[in-house]
Amino acid sequence: MATSQFRAAAEAELNKRTEIAKQFVQFYYSLFDNPDRSQVAQLGNLYNDQSMLTFEDGKFFGKQEIMEKITGLPFQKVAHSINDFTVQCLFTGILVSVGGELKVDDEANALQFSQIFVLVPENESYIISNDLFRFRYS
């Protein structure tokens, strides 16, 4: 059983990292969904050369491959709607799980998705170490 002192410290740290994760998610999807598609390139600042993206069954290693995948996605407009958001502390990082819907171009039906980020500290900020994206089919 966790001691009350440990629990209080763990909850305080989780609250701190949850706030960081909320800010990250808001920033990430605001860039991804920006009507000016050139803004998507700024997502590259959130990855480094050791980052990895799993997009459905594809694996992309390093900032360059990841950005080629993201900027090469076949749509002009996208809008994410977040329905669930969960955070856990890792030893030095943050595990962020996001689920929701996304609409692309002028499609009438939204697609369900889930995305998991592992954020790690780098230069007094956080970068995406791992990014896992899946469409959820009913």
Give me the residues of the chain with pLDDT under 70, please.
1-2
Distance of alpha carbon 121 from alpha carbon 128, whole angstroms: 9
Distance of alpha carbon 118 from alpha carbon 123, whole angstroms: 16
Evaluate whether 30 touches 46 at the Cβ level (below 8 Å): no
The reported pLDDT for the residue numbered 2 is 64
Alpha-carbon torsion angle 116, 111, 69, 59, nearest 10 = 50
Q: What is the CATH number of the domain that holds 74?
A: 3.10.450.50
The reported pLDDT for the residue numbered 116 is 98
The total domain count for the chain is: 1
- N-term to C-term CA, the chain: 39
The reported pLDDT for the residue numbered 47 is 98
Q: What is the pLDDT of residues 27-39, one digit of tens each?
A: 999 999 998 888 8
The reported pLDDT for the residue numbered 104 is 93
Evaluate whether 86 touches 116 at the Cβ level (below 8 Å): no
Write out the residue range of the structural domain in which residue 83 sits.
Answer: 4-136
Whether the pTM exceeds 0.75: the reply is yes
The reported pLDDT for the residue numbered 73 is 92
